[in-house]
Structure 1
């Protein structure tokens, strides 16, 4: 297949990241782009068409989209790219406004497992959704508004020798205003909602998270490095979006992008990989094609999930933390992620599928496995495989600084993942 234009891919990926400061924005941006390309937005409460077509469904911060060919029947298999829309961050608490030492602060709680120190001294925004008394939900984002200030070295003389230790409650509450500039009853939610044209009294719920407002950037020799927030795991969501837009209408399978929410929390939600959202869609698609339970199980038995989530490149300053026999590097291609304890779902058969996909796409691939002394994280792969019984392989781009407010990748790896996923949807 033709090689993707790396420069164009990275430029558009940067725009996608900037449009997606929260999982809710990411799902909406995927749906917006697909609808612009002719995909039909479906309502889960409505009847779905049986005819072939390109369709998308959004559930909270998750988005499922698919291309159903004219030849699809009751036992037609699926080729699914699984990813997730959320990233480690901080979530706004109820009654979030406080006044401490003349500064207004926001009450937040830790979401997932962020590198806490990486969030210090950055211009942050609040982004997510609010629910109003009329039952509607609204996407909101503030732009630069908050900052978690670090204690000056003059007041912590041993910080460089003994290290920085942050208390998750006392040391991570951002400032957003000076009390001297505001009324005594100043309220953070009122400030957030003012620009959205919503009255504070109309709000009955909110899911708002902090996001770094610094723009993505290319840098380094030959502009080979790419730095941005939320590449874990918008790198995979975007690769799946690009691939689905290019997916053929005459394939022998149904091509699916499944971007789940709440992976960083364990995926146990109605929009997470342990929840029913993907199964709900697949059941409805197969039912519309005339499948009963036996035909559906036949379809699942011949289907594949590529679970794509960012992985670790070897860190040059901490090489001993990696497996000594497997050192995946930035620029070496997307990862095949392996774990003997099924933290990743890859096995020999899945490894062979991924090697073939990468060969057809003309991109390199490299293996990742953890150091035995360091616990391995997990992905949506084993969860989706357990729920659906579909063969699954775990892959992803190598990163440095994973779970930082600003992660680091190689531009060739990002484009290569897009090319490989496109081949996964295109090939038989």
Structure 2
């Protein structure tokens, strides 16, 4: 087996197959980051009039900001001190922990707020979370509320206000997954997008290794970071992490790792871009094309292209690639459905597929359909999750292209 970590925010899990790496690999790519509320570098502020200590934030990824008010939030992440010590922070996950909340305005006084557009109902600078509630009796001390917040963090974690500048802290929902519906057929949780794809791909590989199965070719599950903000940075799909991983495999295979060998290995590879997809919402059917939309419980999706408008920003997979995966799913009893994000010009989105295609790989989008994507409580079908596990296992085990 193979395990390569990238700065604690990306990884490759690999399994050697029956053919040389120069013949290519079967790759499933996903991302580990989810839409969330990040803290600003100087997050702590005090409101002297109310005695409330607040946390300034900057949202991460495409969210509907009004989703994130009036729900319990936990603070999680890390702080790196100047001496290099990494301090893990987690407040709100345990049952007896305090939580944080971004307070909305009561309906009795919302006349002016109600005139705003829905997208502007809660503004970015209004996403401030309550972190402290006094009382503060000192009139002489400068910003006593902020000092109280920092005093707590110093006692519990040994961090200073300046330490927060070199931190990665975020607010996420302070609840776990729950079964949804009387039949318990659905799972609701924060972060399905896209950890459910990473989980399914890695679980498929680990199960194969545990059972002693040898795939036709090298198998790689590559998990990236920063997809929700455009795949920028050294842990993203735009980085050289893919090339470095292939170089490592070439070395393990006794190759020299030349540019020609690297090019041959990547060009001969097939990849599935595993990311969640939009499921038809019965309350908002008008944004979907019924003939080309996904339904919860109808199986793993195949998506030929994503993008916006005229397929802008999409990886438009070849008909041959779609045919190969369709045949593979059919042969191994995988329930699947064709999917397009929504009606033309209604909106759109993208995945990391195009960044793998830039390495001259054949890539196809596939994934699990969700309701309420990018919200604090996304919903998927258990049966679709199982089909993802089965479909990814079949892709890893078998060469997707029909032999002549």
Structure 1-normalised TM-score?
0.80
Aligned to 2:391, the other structure's residue is in SS state helix
Q: What SS does the aligned partner of 2:249 have?
A: helix
- Evaluate the alpha carbon distance shift between residue 223 and residue 381 of structure 1 in structure 2; reply closer, same or farther with a 3 A threshold: same
1:57 is matched with 5
1:256 is matched with which residue? 220
CA distance in 2, matches of 1:184, 1:398: 45
Q: Tell me what 1:9 maps to.
A: none
Which of 282, 286, 295 aligns to 1:329? It is 295
* Equivalent position of 1:68 in the other structure: 16
Q: 1:408 & 1:222 partners in 2: Cα distance?
A: 14
1:48-94 deviation per Cα after TM superposition (whole angstroms, max 9, x unaligned): xxxxx33232323112221124x553514211110001111111112
* 2:87 aligned with 1:87: no
Secondary structure of 1:135 counterpart: coil
Q: Note closer, same or farther for the CA distance 1:78–1:199 as it changes in structure 2 (3 Å cut).
A: same
Partner Cα separation in structure 1 for residue 161 and residue 110 of structure 2: 43
CA contact (8 A) 2:76 2:91 kept: yes
Q: 3-state SS of the aligned residue for 1:149?
A: coil
5+ long unaligned stretches in structure 1: 1-52
Aligned to 1:179, which of 134, 138, 157? 134
Matching of residue 233 in structure 1 with residue 171 in structure 2: no
Matched, 1:154 2:108: yes
Q: Find the residue that maps to 1:315 and give its secondary structure.
A: coil
| Partner secondary structure for residue 221 of structure 1 | coil
Shift of 1:331: 0.4
Match of 1:102 among 27, 48, 51: 51
Whether 1:123 and 2:72 are equivalent positions in the alignment is yes
Task: For residue 194 of structure 1, report the CA deviation from its aligned partner.
Answer: 4.8
Correspondence 1:214-229 to 2 at 5 A: 214-229=175-190
Q: CA RMSD in A?
A: 2.4
User: Cα offset for 1:378?
Assistant: 0.3
CA distance in 1 between partners of 2:366 and 2:147 (Å): 47
Aligned to 1:31: none
Counterpart position of 2:245: 281
Give 1:163 deviation, angstroms. Answer: 6.3
Q: In structure 2, do the counterparts of structure 1 residues 420 and 198 end up closer, same or farther at CA, with 3 Å as the change threshold?
A: farther
- Could you tell me whether the CA contact under 8 Å between 1:345 and 1:381 is conserved in 2? no
Query: Using the alignment, how far apart are the partners of 1:194 and 1:83 within structure 2?
Result: 38
Aligned to 1:169: 124
TM-superposed deviation, 1:193: 6.4
2:168 matched residue in structure 1: 207
Of 349, 356, 368, which residue of structure 2 is paired with 1:384? 356
Give the structure 2 partner of residue 299 of structure 1: 265
Inter-partner Cα distance in structure 2 for 1:123 and 1:410: 25
How far did 1:253 drift?
Answer: 1.5
**Aligned counterparts of 1:411 and 1:324: Cα–Cα separation in 2:** 22
Cα shift readout 1:2-54 (whole Å, capped 9, x = no counterpart): xxxxxxxxxxxxxxxxxxxxxxxxxxxxxxxxxxxxxxxxxxxxxxxxxxx33
CA–CA separation in structure 2 for the residues paired with 1:415 and 1:212? 25
1:304 deviates by 0.9
**CA displacement, residues 172-216 of structure 1 (integer Å, 9 cap, x when unaligned):** 111111131696453656645654x44337936101111101111
Match of 2:374 in 1: 403
Distance in 2 between the 1:409 and 1:368 partners?
A: 15
- Note the C-alpha offset of 1:257: 1.1
Name the TM-score, length of structure 2 as normaliser. 0.85
Q: Structure 2: which 5+ residue stretches go unaligned?
A: 93-97, 138-143, 306-310, 400-404
Look up the SS of the partner of 2:183 in the other structure: helix
When residues 329 and 201 of structure 1 are mapped into structure 2, their CA distance, relative to the original with a 3 A threshold, is closer
Equivalent residues, number: 373
Distance 2:240 2:154 in 1: 32
CA distance in structure 1 between the partners assigned to 2:267 and 2:99 by the alignment: 50
Task: Indicate the SS of the match to 2:37.
Answer: strand
Instruction: Return the alpha-carbon distance in structure 2 between the equivalents of residues 148 and 77 of structure 1.
Output: 49
SS at match of 2:22: coil
Larger radius of gyration: 2
Alpha-carbon shift at residue 272 of structure 1 (Å): 0.4
